Structure 1
Amino acid sequence: MTISLGIEEEFVLLDPETLRAVPLADCAIAALGGRDTVVREYFPSQLEFASPVLHDAADALASLARFRCGLAAWAAEAGVVAAATGTPLHPEPAGGQDWAGRYAQIADDTRWLTYDHQINGLHVHVGIPDRATGIVALNRLRPWLPVLLALSANSPHWSGVDTGFASWRSLHSRRWTTYGIPPHFADVDAYEMAIARHAGIGATSDPRTINWCARLSPRYPTVEVRVCDSQLGAHSSVALALIIRALVGTADDANAAKSPDAGVWDAALWHAARHGVSATLVDPDTMTLAPARAVIAKLAAAVTTGLTVEENAAVCGFLQRVIAEGSGADRQRIALASGGRAALGQLLRDALSDSWPGVVASAVGVKSGDLVRPVTPRLDRGDPTAAQRNGSP
């Protein structure tokens, strides 16, 4: 039986010269919302696209690509850059925002923190038959969440500078009341008790403000994975969604019972945010640092049985490209360093509707075991961790 899938992508609108976030999301939504589920996000420069219920990779890619093409066309006409990035180069200036409803409550609870929450993520929903199945899936996902963050890292800049982190978005998120790897739950009752105990603490005004990197959706019969940065291209969003669905779909009591130590995995998450795929990651089996490409190869092997032949080819192609060229953070960092704001803006424009043509075809025949072969990066990144690129600590 095919497991259903849902994908939410968040975007930010930027001035084409300064790449500063501009509050024009309502205009985009008015132009695009009639055809798709598109809503304002937290800041008026942000919007979110929510896919319909999806059942295969082709449907997922078509859905995301169709919306992205419409958004790209609107942005070109409006004279702005619509960017699929975890953080903008320059955020909106603090102050003057007018929040309503539950966003007003969140803004009041978080005070000055709220102005830094100009972050954009990729959220993946995977259908589950019941919440007990979801708990098993959450426990399975826990040690893989840092790896997913590393693969999806796409937010190296903030306030016009290179932060030195691959995912600065995740550093912003860590400052809120809840974030990170969810606890290991024995059963649904333990999960529900944890949710109830958080009520009213800090900025936890409702169950939707429980911001663990993976959770049972408060609204849908799904496991919701929220760890990933927004992705430059639609193909990478779909590949990450397929990986997540495969991890959920192959979860059982044996592979979900590993590594209940939350402290290690939160540290692993910070490590992934800092280095992305450039150096090492925490191995889910040994709980020790290992070369990033070796941990990625383990992930590829872990999800193979949950993918069709075509899906496995697309996933392996995505992983090969990330190993060879780095994540979206690396691509953004290179663009800004080599060509300034103009080059970064062009990358964001081109990537919005770039479905990585040919990547699936080129991935046919690639096996998960091939991912451990030494790969010479084709680009000179020039970032703070360039000396660590070949997996050395």
Structure 2
Amino acid sequence: MLRFGVEEEFMLVDPHRLVPVSLAGEIRDRLSVREELAPQIGGEFLAAQLEYATTIQTGVAAAGTELLAFRTALGDAARELAVIPLAGGTPFDVDGAAAIVPTERYQHIASEFGEMLVDHQVNGLHVHVEVVDPDARVRALNGTRDWLPFLLAITGDSPFWHGRDTGFESWRNVILRRMPTAGCPPVFDDAADYRRRTQLLVDMGALIDLGSIAWAARLSERFPTVEVRVFDAQLSVDDSVMAAALTRAIVDTSAQGAAGSCAPAELVDAALWEAGRRGADARLPDPLSGTMSTVWALADGLVEWIRPSLEASGDLELVIDGLERIRLEGTGAARQRERHRDSGAIGLRGLYREGCDGRERRAPTPLSMPFAEVAGLMSSPFPPTARQGSVAS
């Protein structure tokens, strides 16, 4: 059973216009007095943004408990400052260029972004899966890339931008496509090939360092993990946990050499655009057959492909139930649209608050372990935060 960690990004927004507000430092100071939270909270590129990284886990139940505990604490702190924590891919509206955290690295990145900085106000969910052997790690990345469009299709959660419906399930995916490295990662021969080709990108000047690689999946340059970054930040812990369970099983199955199609990069990239545009209604290439398929037919095939890994980890029922819930209730983007259609910005405000109000979990799961006990479960040779300093959120 592969170990993993989950990183969730949150943006603080004004409760009236739902635009970002630069209070992440104040929120972080309030939360960092709690010993069980402080080591896992990180700042981000934007002054309105902060990140929580779980400790290293072997079970998704414990990861879910951590995420829920942090969201509850974040919701309480945000109420004290009269702001709302947004767990979604983009804010409903923005006020020009965002304020950035004034570190030397981030100021350098901001100067490279130019006018792109105005739009780079996005939240992501990142899942790190440990694969110790370097060549197996590359094999896992190659196998995972073909499933990235499907993973985006069921987790799109950024339909609004500048106060308007973009028509996309994931507008964050559109924003990120302007980065020097974005979308589908290439296929690599082995770990040496990955190191050589990614270093060339830095040597060219397209990247300031390997931590700014913005592919939807990449290898960590500091820790022995495959990092899947295709996901928008998720409205609910349930959706984040399901994304983590799916990711671990896909990485595990791919690392063991299970065959996939290794689709051409242009096909995967176009499929990522389609998934970001149409979500669960997209038609996408099936990595197992090479034919075009509906998202829910892909879901059935994927579950069978990764079933041995899901059964070994005990995640099979969670994944099946989670996929069925999304099929019936819709993605985060669909739920945002429904709430906005019913009650406008007031409805969105309530939906965002619900994601951090401590009442998550719609079905019984074994997430009853006290947070402090969960946080002390794992010791590890690689740090739990696995922060790369990247702005490709």
What range describes the TM-score normalised by the shorter chain of this pair?
0.7 to 0.9
What is the number of equivalent residue pairs in this alignment? 360
Find the aligned partners of 1:96 and 1:234 in 2 and give their Cα distance.
28
Equivalences for residues 116-195 of structure 1 within 5 A: 116-195=119-198
- CA displacement, residues 214-266 of structure 1 (integer Å, 9 cap, x when unaligned): 11101211111111010111111111111111111122565356224111001
Conservation of the 8 A alpha-carbon contact between 1:176 and 1:203: no
Return closer, same or farther for 1:222/1:253 CA change in 2, 3 Å cut-off.
Answer: closer
Equivalences for residues 211-290 of structure 1 within 5 A: 211-252=214-255, 254-256=257-259, 258-290=261-293
| Larger mean Cα displacement after TM superposition, 60-69 or 255-264 | 255-264
Q: Which runs of 5+ in 1 are unaligned?
A: 362-393
Equivalences for residues 24-103 of structure 1 within 5 A: 24-35=23-34, 36=37, 37-94=40-97, 97=100, 99-103=102-106
Residue 19 in 1 paired to residue 22 in 2? no
| Larger mean Cα displacement after TM superposition, 144-153 or 296-305 | 296-305
Task: Read off the aligned partner of 1:356 and give its amino acid letter.
Answer: R
TM-score, normalised relative to structure 1: 0.87
Find the aligned partners of 1:356 and 1:296 in 2 and give their Cα distance.
22
Conservation of the 8 A alpha-carbon contact between 2:157 and 2:333: yes
Aligned CA RMSD, in angstroms, stands at 1.8
Quote the sequence identity (%): 38
Return closer, same or farther for 1:38/1:252 CA change in 2, 3 Å cut-off.
Answer: closer
Find the aligned partners of 1:201 and 1:209 in 2 and give their Cα distance.
14
Find the aligned partners of 2:167 and 2:177 in 1 and give their Cα distance.
17
Conservation of the 8 A alpha-carbon contact between 2:263 and 2:287: no
Task: Read off the aligned partner of 1:8 and give its amino acid letter.
Answer: E
TM-score, normalised relative to structure 2: 0.87
Task: Read off the aligned partner of 2:31 and give its amino acid letter.
Answer: L
Residue 330 in 1 paired to residue 334 in 2? yes
Aligned equivalent of 1:10? 9
Find the aligned partners of 1:5 and 1:239 in 2 and give their Cα distance.
13
Find the aligned partners of 2:70 and 2:147 in 1 and give their Cα distance.
29
Structure 1 runs (4+) deviating above 4 angstroms are 95-98
Equivalences for residues 347-362 of structure 1 within 5 A: 347-352=351-356, 353-358=358-363, 360=365
Question: How far is 1:302 from its partner?
Answer: 2.0
Task: Read off the aligned partner of 1:332 and give its amino acid letter.
Answer: Q
Tell me which of the two structures has the higher relative contact order, counting C-alpha pairs closer than 8 angstroms and 6 or more residues apart: 2
Aligned equivalent of 1:369? none
| Larger mean Cα displacement after TM superposition, 278-287 or 74-83 | 278-287
Conservation of the 8 A alpha-carbon contact between 1:106 and 1:203: no
Aligned equivalent of 2:317? 313
- CA displacement, residues 281-320 of structure 1 (integer Å, 9 cap, x when unaligned): 3222343432221111112222221124741111111100
Return closer, same or farther for 1:210/1:96 CA change in 2, 3 Å cut-off.
Answer: closer
Find the aligned partners of 2:199 and 2:175 in 1 and give their Cα distance.
25
Question: How far is 1:359 from its partner?
Answer: 5.8
Aligned equivalent of 2:350? 346
Aligned equivalent of 2:297? 294
Task: Read off the aligned partner of 1:330 and give its amino acid letter.
Answer: A
Give the secondary-structure state (helix, strand or coil) at the position aligned to 2:355. Answer: helix
Aligned equivalent of 2:385? none
Find the aligned partners of 1:297 and 1:257 in 2 and give their Cα distance.
15
Conservation of the 8 A alpha-carbon contact between 2:261 and 2:289: no
Task: Read off the aligned partner of 2:262 and give its amino acid letter.
Answer: S
Find the aligned partners of 1:269 and 1:117 in 2 and give their Cα distance.
19
Aligned equivalent of 1:390? none
Return closer, same or farther for 1:117/1:203 CA change in 2, 3 Å cut-off.
Answer: farther
Conservation of the 8 A alpha-carbon contact between 1:233 and 1:354: no
Question: How far is 1:145 from its partner?
Answer: 0.5
| Larger mean Cα displacement after TM superposition, 93-102 or 149-158 | 93-102
Residue 114 in 1 paired to residue 117 in 2? yes
Task: Read off the aligned partner of 1:328 and give its amino acid letter.
Answer: G
Find the aligned partners of 1:230 and 1:290 in 2 and give their Cα distance.
26
- CA displacement, residues 361-390 of structure 1 (integer Å, 9 cap, x when unaligned): 9xxxxxxxxxxxxxxxxxxxxxxxxxxxxx
Find the aligned partners of 1:23 and 1:240 in 2 and give their Cα distance.
29
Conservation of the 8 A alpha-carbon contact between 2:261 and 2:290: no
For residue 303 of structure 1, the aligned residue among 290, 302, 306 is: 306
Return closer, same or farther for 1:192/1:32 CA change in 2, 3 Å cut-off.
Answer: same
Task: Read off the aligned partner of 1:32 and give its amino acid letter.
Answer: L
Task: Read off the aligned partner of 1:287 and give its amino acid letter.
Answer: G
Give the secondary-structure state (helix, strand or coil) at the position aligned to 2:175. Answer: helix
Return closer, same or farther for 1:257/1:188 CA change in 2, 3 Å cut-off.
Answer: farther
Q: Which runs of 5+ in 2 are unaligned?
A: 367-393
- CA displacement, residues 319-376 of structure 1 (integer Å, 9 cap, x when unaligned): 0011112100000011111110000110111123443321659xxxxxxxxxxxxxxx
Find the aligned partners of 1:139 and 1:355 in 2 and give their Cα distance.
34
